[in-house]
Every structure is written in structure tokens, then in C-alpha cells.
Chains A and B, each alone.
Chain A
Amino acid sequence: GDSVTQMEGPVTLSEEAFLTINCTYTATGYPSLFWYVQYPGEGLQLLLKATKADDKGSNKGFEATYRKETTSFHLEKGSVQVSDSAVYFCALSNTNAGKSTFGDGTTLTVKP
């Protein structure tokens, strides 16, 4: 079945540091890939997505590129802020399945 593996946390960075959170997937067909973010006490919300190979999703300074050859969708940000502290989930949605498969989440803490 489909699966998503993401970098274990927690990750602690200083403000303005570079962020990478690794995500790899296993899936049949041609899934769409997502990053969701969960701020403390809230539900998940979409951060960015990519629907086909080589697509780059971007939002709020975050980027991720859909790499079919390495089955990866790594999340990056050039300069993190304290307000980026949250849990980040990588996920995939497969053709006509309707459901999404989520990674276990990576907790990011950014210190001033």
C-alpha cells in the first residue's frame, strides 16, 4: 500500500537558519503530494502541494519539488522565523482513491 516516510524530529533551529525536512513516499500510480502544517492547538492546514513530477509547490517562503526519480518531496525554507514553529506533515493522495496517506509529522521549533 501507499506510505510516506518523513524525517524524524524534533528539529530545533535558530531564527534565519535554513530548513530541510525530508519526505519520501511509496505509491502506485501518480499521486499528488502535499505538505500540511499544524500550529499548536489547531488542525492541519495545507501549506503547499504538487500534482505531477517536477512540479514545485511554494507558499510563505516554503518550497518542495516533486521528484519522481527519487520518490521524494523535501520541504525547504531559506530563512525560518519563530512563527514557523509547528508540526509539519508530508502526505500523498492517490488517483481516484479520495483518501490521503500521512507521514508521522516533524516538529519544528525555531528559537530567537
Chain B
Amino acid sequence: DAEITQSPRHKITETGRQVTLACHQTWNHNNMFWYRQDLGHGLRLIHYSYGVQDTNKGEVSDGYSVSRSNTEDLPLTLESAASSQTSVYFCASSESAGGQETQYFGPGTRLLVL
């Protein structure tokens, strides 16, 4: 069965360190997304990609970067982790369907920045 996986599921790091969160999907979807989920803020879009070599900034992209070298993977990098980036991070993917896209979510990565 097709799926979307994230690793690691839990991560503790220190401020200033670079951290990369992995996202891998086997749906063969063109669209991939990274969100963060914080109490009181719902889901906020960090970065997204519509295909290989395409990346776009979302509403909370400062301090984060992504790259898309193949269809399956969209790793999220925190360039210099800050305590404000402590959150739960979700990756999602969807096929291109003219505005009717259902997003398929990974199980999430819980990140703690000390």
C-alpha cells in the first residue's frame, strides 16, 4: 500500500544546530507540503513543492528550507534551530487534481529544541 512516512518521529536538539526532518511518500504524488502544528495555531504551512526542482515558501518559512530532488522525498531543514521551532511537524502529499486534492499526511515528527 502507498504511504507517507516521516523520520525521526521524535527529535531533541539544541539551539543553533542544523536539523533535517525526512519525508518520503510512495503515492507518486507531485505535490508535497510541510506544516507545523502548535496549540492555538492549527496547521501552518512552511514550504511546499509542486514537483521535482520546484519549491515555494509558505506562511511561516523563515528559518526553514526544503529541496526536491526526486518525486518521493521532501526533506525539511532547520538551518539553525531555535526554541520557537519546537513543534510537531507534518508532511503531506497530494496529486494534482484541479483544486479537488485530498492531502495525505504522515504521522508527524515531534521536535524539541532546548
Contacts and interface: CB of A to CB of B under 8 A. Distances in A.
Interface in A48-106: 49, 51, 89, 93-100, 102-105
A24 B25 CA distance: 31
Contacts of B45: 99
A26 interface: no
Interface of B: 31, 33, 40-43, 45, 48, 50, 58, 90, 92, 94, 96, 98-108
A99 B107 contact: no
A43 B90 contact: yes
A43 B107 contact: yes
B100 A51 contact: yes
Contacts of A93: 99-101
Contacts of B50: 98
A46 B90 CA distance: 15
* Interface size range on A against B: 20 to 34
B42 to A, nearest CB: 4
Contacts of B105: 36, 43-45
Contacts of A36: 103, 105
A32 interface: yes
B99 A42 contact: no
A95 B102 CA distance: 13
A34 interface: yes
